[in-house]
Structure 1
């Protein structure tokens, strides 16, 4: 009834007296809202007819069924459907069966065609209720003019088609009792619909954005069970606060139902894993596992990390990053090769400083005399060139200069004795005869003179007499 009034702005049944309105409630179906309000779809007419059918077997079995019908009509209206033949047919109540009149009986009144419920009262009885002072056997709605017309000539009655008159006492109490029962039944149906369709349900409180403890406490105090679903990441809801609930806030459900809460895990971030010592491919796979990406790859020589492995990365391990962030890495090219160079014939001190600055170790333990290489210069080196790695050794042979020996005096010695002594010191001995040579075979003079220091291997010339 309320739906009809909302659609049309008027009551479905009206009369001059309450009894007349009650008569229509009992004997007439609610008219289609589209008769008074244009634009009402046929399936809405059918919903009203189904919900107000006088035969309770034609009405929805309970509030949940009526709610289901309302959802279907609401969806059709939201979709802009102006006519849905299937929906209209589903909602339209079946017409109550009207028995065919028996032979010789009075014809069925026209207003009963299409009723969804058989008549409970005889029209004559209800007419008497509507006008207690009038003739109960008169047609409903008959006024003075009708009575006057009845006083005129009439056709002979056909006894076979008229029912036997009913006792007046029965008519006096039967109508009010049945009306009372109908009103009680209608009240009971309305109360049941209100209870099963609304009153027994509770509204789910709004706990969105609340902390877990606060939300659980509020729901349990409202009579609901609480379950926690897997958390989700959220940019707007603080960690361990409620992101959503099922059923949603404001929905009406039975007390004791379970409300499932989804808590926030906070802003979605992942820690950077340790990548040191991994290959580039392994580092990329490790980052992908935490939804991060490999960024720039820079190569650098390293004395400690094997070639092809990650030396370091930025951001460092443990830094919290959002999904899709990049991590740059520095990959080892292996040990840096160092150029040794050629230092033979060059100053040994300068060679040592340069090589040690590169990180090489210099070994100068080998020294020797050299008549051609000045003192302090490199006579030889090992390796003779090429490259080495940091910490490897370069050996330098450093010159002590010429090996100087003091020339002894061999004057007046026999030539053979003098030769032996000088050759023993490493000199080369040459002889020549003095002018006026006597053939004695003794040393008359020597060059260089005795006491001079000359390189070993130098030549000493002896003059013989």
Structure 2
């Protein structure tokens, strides 16, 4: 069971609906917007060529900026990573407006295009070209297969695959000795590899109009090269000479667009469109704008003319020749050339005739000499201008060296950056035309300059470096610094890098945004309450904490002795690296023994002891003792009695 192919998590790739020179077009569905789209995917066998990838991306850039109802819109672009033959390849794709309809080529083959429809369709193409030219884009491949007519009759110009900005259209139209474009609609300047501009598209549009009106292109040959030669050196037959029923008023309009010299063509698409509308309304092209001579029908033989008789004035008839003489009329005398009499010589006339002959001869000789001199110089200049030079091997040079080498050969360098895994940044990956190709002086050489690998490794050595050093290193590698956040860390100094997102050591696309996490130089205090002192010591001295412990004992009747009952700073507080944390450890309170109470002697009152005074004076304690003793004795005596 086949799995669904989805691009960028959004576009579902469905059946193949078209195939071009370097890409396939699939029907697709936008999952988010729920609409049908056309997805143009670069074919895998073409994706290995950097030049092809560059041309494919150029198409997306060229059309993305164009917004016109007669031009197919581009919605999105991207790249799909595919595993092919064990290697990963990026396949660029373009998501475009899905147009349901038929191309002009199909309609033309079906014989459905009338003169009115042909004019309407070409006017629609000219409107699209006027917009693209105003945005600085030259299409360079206008032909029936690249123009779609929708089911509702709207016209769409497609396939800007070889389009270029006008600022870059100075490049030749050759790609390694292969003409870019379609031979039957190729302009003379494209065939010669010269500069192109908006008038190049007008020539191709003239070829398109010619074919829609006559049923065939203006030039037909056995090979594309033969057709290209005709575009350069031959004049097209007037459309009315190919289709006799076609009004001749369209001949000059079409032939002006097909002028070999672009200076003789229409100045822009608006002028072409106006001339075509005028012709449809019966207004011919002004005489001063006609650039192609229309062959005139010349009679096979001229009418005979007759001489008038002597003495009668010649009478002109309506036919424009002299009337024949009547039979009764005759010459007064024989013509002079039939006389045998010698003519007398005139010496003065003879000398004058000789002088004029000498003067004219000298003038002719001088004119021929001057003309020959200028012609010789022109031939030499043309030979020098069209001299062929060989493109050298540039792939080992830096950009500056390659551009200097190309200029020294009287060629024009054009540089374009691309990713390459094997060529160091700033060096040439390849050239177009390639090395050892012969081109005309003044041609453009396209240089692909390496930007380095598309995927780069974030250096793991950046850990612990200052923020300024990290920023400079990432910028030099082609990355962009994104968000910067801070984080507590026990080991990394304040202001230094802890980690990045993506992580250090990962492979990331060049130009990606890298987020930084910078150390605050602080440490978060962990939870120590209810731990024993050895446990708390292990927690604080762990590599990720790195704090010292200060123990203070406190008596506590509730907590288990040896257990931490409080800490300072508290859990979660941020402190400087290497700071101390004071813990308060419970210890059992000291228990004091209860006080000992002395027993006092029991008192037995006696009337006798209390009534008899002491006979021996002394201290209070002595008296008491004596008294107690005495009291005890008397009591005993009394007990004895």
Q: Same fold (TM over 0.5)?
A: no
| Structure with greater contact order relative to length (CA < 8 Å, sep ≥ 6) | 1
Q: What TM-score comes out, normalization by structure 2 length?
A: 0.29
Q: What TM-score comes out, normalization by structure 1 length?
A: 0.38
Quick check: which has more Rg, 1 or 2?
Answer: 1
